[in-house]
Chain A
Amino acid sequence: MKLTGTYSLPANMERAYEALRDPALLTQCIPGCESLDLIGPDEYAMKMKMALAAVSGQFEGKVKLTEPNPPSSFVMLVEGQGKIGFVKGSGAISLKPSGDAATEVTYEGDVNVGGTIAAVGSRLIDTTSKMMIKRFFDKFSTLL
């Protein structure tokens, strides 16, 4: 499933670019993320607990940042597996200035979901993914 969106962050491009690649910030902002541990260059092992309404599930996976092109773009790969299924996403993230102290972040992503969540949650995947991304950026803006 394709996802695109644009958010405005209250920081200049350099700051925004750095922050978006900062594991400490990412840990706080990825919804449900419990830990990110460095396992290679720009690659982290992730533990995540998803909780949405009654749905809950533990996921283990990876976050990988590739194709760095500071301060204007990079690609984020996220994958997680759990008993209720797996999620695999890739997002091309591009930044452009919007005024002096703000940056417009655009993502173009592809999310693949498998297992039980894919089989029974098709009507929810779209809405939920969008909400997760929104939560991510909302939190991110606050912390920046």
Chain B
Amino acid sequence: MIPTQFDYAAPATLDEALGLLAGDGAKALAGGMSLVPMMKLRLAAPEKLVDLGRVSGLRYIKEDGANIRIGAMSTHHDLESSALLAAKCPLLVQTATQIGDVQVRNMGTIGGSIAHADPAADWPAALLACGARVRIASKAGTREVAIEDFFVDTFTSDLQPGELVVEIVVPVDAAGAKSAYVKVHQPASGFALVGIAVHKSNGATRIGVTGLAGKAYRAKKSEAVAADPDKAAAVVAEDVEANSDIHASAEFRKHLAAVHLKRALTSLA
């Protein structure tokens, strides 16, 4: 219940924050919805916390030409209640409402969530499906990676020491685009046993899957045959080494992914 001691800094600017994060043993604190409980259980014991809560200019959702730019410190509730997203990328709204609970959505941030790279988190599926890009900053400058390259492995993202997620960029939905996020909740934690995000736009379908494997992934084989929900479902978990725990076996997770993908594709047809 009680974390170990740490040094704390609450920088006001991004530059300052990046400077602090460049040091050894520093860990960024965004909403803290994953980090703080782990610190209380002493599974995490960072020497220095850099609280991003006061950094200005990291919390926004704005339209920029063909894209929507989302500041990394935007909370899940910011996304859930964004009229802009509801109109231009409703998949993110649909996903946000299914994250955790009200209090978690009020505090947790999209940047913190993806940086944590939890294989059962909700955002990865949705961001994969809508083809997001992640802007990453460090003292050395900024870079942008495609979301598919961002998730490397279980709890492992492409973020290098000293780097910070600063923005998520998603394309504005084309006219007539359709999308859905379907989630099977682990009954205790509320994490996704399986989460399937489907995004159909301009005749192309992108599918993001979370909860199933060591990291969230794009189900490209399913995308290729998305016009036929049965076929797409049959290959959604092909060649995937699925997770297994006390809540669901690998076999059941794969099955759920197939069923829910089929249903999602059918409902969007």
Q: Which residues of A contact B (CB under 8 A)?
A: 52-57, 83-84, 116-117, 120-128, 130-131, 134
Contact = CB atoms under 8 A, between A and B. Distances in A.
B150 interface: no
A64 to B, nearest CB: 27
Contact of A126 (B45, B118, B245): B245
28 contacts: A52-B155, A52-B156, A53-B34, A53-B116, A53-B117, A53-B156, A54-B46, A55-B38, A55-B43, A55-B44, A56-B44, A83-B42, A116-B42, A117-B43, A120-B41, A123-B189, A123-B191, A123-B247, A124-B154, A124-B155, A126-B245, A127-B119, A127-B154, A127-B214, A130-B154, A130-B241, A131-B153, A134-B153
A124 B42 CA distance: 16
Contacts of B155: 52-53, 55, 124, 128
A55 B154 CA distance: 12
A131 B214 contact: yes
Contacts of B189: 123
A127 B43 contact: no
Interface of B: 27, 34-35, 38-39, 41-46, 116-120, 153-156, 186, 189, 191, 213-214, 241, 243-247
Contacts of A56: 43-46
A127 to B, nearest CB: 5
Contacts of A117: 43
Contacts of B42: 83-84, 116
10 residue pairs, one from A and one from B, having the closest CB atoms? A53-B155, A54-B44, A123-B245, A131-B154, A127-B154, A127-B214, A55-B43, A54-B38, A54-B35, A52-B155
Nearest to A120: B41
